[in-house]
Structure 1
Amino acid sequence: MNISLDWLAIGLATLSTMVVGTIWYRPAVFGRRWQALTGKDPNAPANKGLAYGGSFLASAVTAVVLAAATDVAGRDLDLEPLPAALLAAAALWLGFTAARMLVHDLFASRDLRIWLLDTCYELATVLVMAVIIGLLG
């Protein structure tokens, strides 16, 4: 199977995660709520270099996987790029991100409101990525 990837879309989708995260975890949006629930400041990780570098790398991996899933969904389901990207993003988020984070948080006995804030952030992130990949790809 030949998978077509648009590297510009992947790069922009990767960068978009930093924008979404900056907005989402602002004190005026959900930052104060997240901090109250976790006791941590989302804008002051213990190791900023590791947090931002690791986040960027993870976002790049997510963008590549989403772009590949979009290409496959578009071909196999005969969808235009934007609907294919949105479908792939929603399916991957639900099946992997939300479900796996829930298992992790249940075993860590974390407040499920943290799970809700974090998984909704992840959904917003992958949907923005999907729009970029769908419009450019």
Structure 2
Amino acid sequence: MEIVINAGAVAAAVAVAMLIGAIWYSPRVFGRYWMSVSGVDPDDTHSAVALTVVFAAVTATGLAATTYIVWKGFGGSFLAVSVGVATVAWAAFTASRMMTHYLFENRAPGMVALNVANELVTLLGMSLVIGAWVPAGI
């Protein structure tokens, strides 16, 4: 089976992920709390941004490919499949794994909730873009 991925949708999903992160972790939203609990100095985060773009691209590509495979196998609305895939991926891989690490790392519960919720919002945002931007030729 050929997996069709819309590169424009992946690029837009990366932009959405970066925008959500910039807003979510801004000082006006959750940034002050996140920095105080994590001990992150905002001046030290600039080098991580480039890698964050790469990781977002990997996530968006994986989400687009998995959405296509599930949609091809089960049909239905491409948008609904994309949101469903993102939700299952978040619960099965992201949230459960992050919470396991936090249990052993003894992190503040607020930090766990903040980061797990950010991952859900980010994946859903990416899935809306990918799901709405159906790959050409399908």
Report the Cα offset of residue 31 of structure 1: 1.2
Cα–Cα, structure 1 residues 45 and 102, in superposed 2: closer, same or farther, change >3 Å? farther
| TM-score normalised by L of structure 1 | 0.91
Aligned residue for 1:113, secondary structure, equals helix
For each residue in 1:19-68, what CA deviation from the matched residue of structure 2 results, as whole angstroms up to 9, or x when unmatched? 00111111221112222322334xx152522x011101100000000001
Partner residue in 2 for 1:102: 99
TM-score normalised by length of structure 2: 0.90
Match of 2:49 among 43, 47, 52: 52
User: Over the residues paired in the alignment, what is the CA RMSD in angstroms?
Assistant: 1.3
Secondary structure in structure 2 of the residue aligned to 1:104 = helix
CA separation of 1:108/1:62 partners in 2, compared to 1, >3 Å: closer, same or farther?
A: same
Quick one: percent identity of the two aligned structures?
Answer: 34
* Counterpart position of 1:4: 4
Q: Do the aligned residues in 2 keep the contact of 1:86 with 1:127 (CA within 8 Å)?
A: yes
CA distance in 1 between counterparts of 2:74 and 2:118 reads: 27
Where has structure 1 moved over 3 Å in runs of 4 or more? none
Q: Which runs of 5 or more structure 2 residues have no equivalent in the other structure?
A: none
Q: Supply the distance in 2 between the matched residues of 1:10 and 1:47 (Cα, whole angstroms).
A: 24
- Provide structure 1 residue ranges, at least 5 long, that are not aligned to the other structure: none
Distance 2:57 2:76 in 1: 24
1:26 is matched with 26
Give the partner amino acid of 2:24: W
Query: What SS does the aligned partner of 1:5 have?
Result: coil
The count of aligned residue pairs is: 134
After superposition, give the CA deviation of every residue in 1:58-89 in whole Å (9 maximum; x if it has no partner). Answer: 00000000001111121222121100100000
